[in-house]
C-alpha cells in the first residue's frame, strides 16, 4: 500500500513485501517463517495510516489458499474452487459441480495462529486471503478477501486418527462435533475422501488450527 493524496493505493506484491517505513525505527517488517525448502510462510506486511494526525501501524497477515489440489493429492491439478467457495458468489461454469461453502481453513501450528487471531480481533492487524495466480511460491499472489475479525479453534485427533476429531471451544473444553469429521470436511470445502487425502501426510499428533472466516464455531 502507498499513501497518496486520495488515500491508500495498492502496490504490486513485489513492491509491498519489500516496502520499508524509514521514518520510524520500529516500522519494519516482521521476520517470516520458512518451510524446509526455504519458502516464505505467512508473510507479514505492514500498513500505515494517518489517524488524528498520528501515524499508526497495522499489520497484514497473509493466508494463501490453493486453487488446485496439490501434487500429493490423488486429484492433483484439478480445481478446488476454494476462492469461489469462500466468496460464495461468481462461481464459474464447470464440468464438475461446485457445491457448498468454505467457511474455514485448517492449518498446522495452532499456537502461531492463536496469537495472530488475537492481534486481528484486537484491531491491530487484518487477514489478507490470497491465491497464487500460477505456480505456488513462483508466481504473484492475488488478494480476493480481507478480514478484520476471525475465529481460531484448536483441533486435535484422538490416537492420531483423522476419524476422531476433537475441537476445543474458546474456554478450552474439548468438544466432539455433532457431525464429526464429515461436517469439518464439508465446512473446509472438501468431500470427506478429499479431506482425508489432503491431510494424510500431516502430523496429526500436533494441535492444528481451524481458522474461521465467519461467525460459525463448533
- The whole-angstrom separation of Cα 184 and Cα 130 is 22
Between vectors from CA 203 to CA 195 and to CA 34, what angle results, nearest 5°? 100
Instruction: Divide the 218 residues of the chain into consecutive groups of 10 and give the mean pLDDT of each group.
Output: 37 33 34 45 50 66 94 94 79 51 95 97 96 88 95 94 91 74 94 96 96 93
pLDDT at 31: 44
Segment holding 154, helix H or strand E: strand 151-157
pLDDT at 136: 83
Q: Which grid cell sits at 178?
A: 455433532
Q: Looking at the whole model, is its pTM more than 0.75?
A: no
Alpha-carbon dihedral angle through residues 83, 84, 87, 91, given to the nearest 10 degrees: 160
pLDDT at 17: 33
- The whole-angstrom separation of Cα 42 and Cα 33 is 7
pLDDT at 158: 92
DSSP secondary structure letters along 167-197: EE-TTS-EE--TTHHHHHHHHTTS-HHHHHH
Residues 140, 185 contacting (CB under 8 angstroms): no
pLDDT at 45: 53
* Residue 25: half-sphere exposure toward Cβ, Cα within 13 Å: 0
pLDDT at 134: 85
Amino acid at each position: 500500500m502507498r499513501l497518496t493524496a486520495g488515500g491508500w493505493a495498492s502496490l504490486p506484491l513485489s513492491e509491498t513485501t519489500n516496502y520499508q517505513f524509514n521514518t520510524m525505527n520500529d516500522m519494519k517488517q516482521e521476520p517470516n517463517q520458512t518451510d524446509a525448502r526455504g519458502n516464505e510462510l505467512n508473510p507479514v506486511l505492514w500498513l500505515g495510516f494517518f489517524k488524528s494526525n498520528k501515524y499508526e501501524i497495522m499489520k497484514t497477515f497473509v493466508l494463501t489458499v490453493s486453487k488446485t489440489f496439490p501434487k500429493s493429492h490423488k486429484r492433483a491439478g484439478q480445481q478446488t474452487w476454494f476462492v469461489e467457495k469462500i466468496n460464495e458468489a461468481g462461481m464459474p461454469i464447470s464440468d464438475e459441480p461446485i457445491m457448498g461453502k468454505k467457511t474455514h481453513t485448517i492449518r498446522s501450528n495452532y499456537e502461531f495462529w492463536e496469537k495472530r487471531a488475537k492481534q486481528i480481533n484486537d484491531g491491530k492487524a487484518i487477514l489478507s486471503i490470497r491465491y497464487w495466480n500460477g505456480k505456488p511460491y513462483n508466481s504473484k499472489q492475488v488478494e480476493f478477501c480481507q478480514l478484520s475479525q476471525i475465529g481460531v479453534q484448536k483441533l486435535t485427533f484422538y490416537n492420531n486418527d483423522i476419524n476422531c476429531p476433537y475441537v476445543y471451544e474458546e474456554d478450552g473444553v474439548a468438544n466432539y462435533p455433532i457431525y464429526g469429521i464429515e461436517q469439518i470436511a464439508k465446512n473446509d470445502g472438501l468431500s470427506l475422501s478429499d479431506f482425508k487425502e489432503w491431510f494424510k501426510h500431516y502430523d496429526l499428533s500436533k494441535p492444528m488450527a481451524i481458522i474461521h472466516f465467519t461467525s460459525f464455531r463448533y
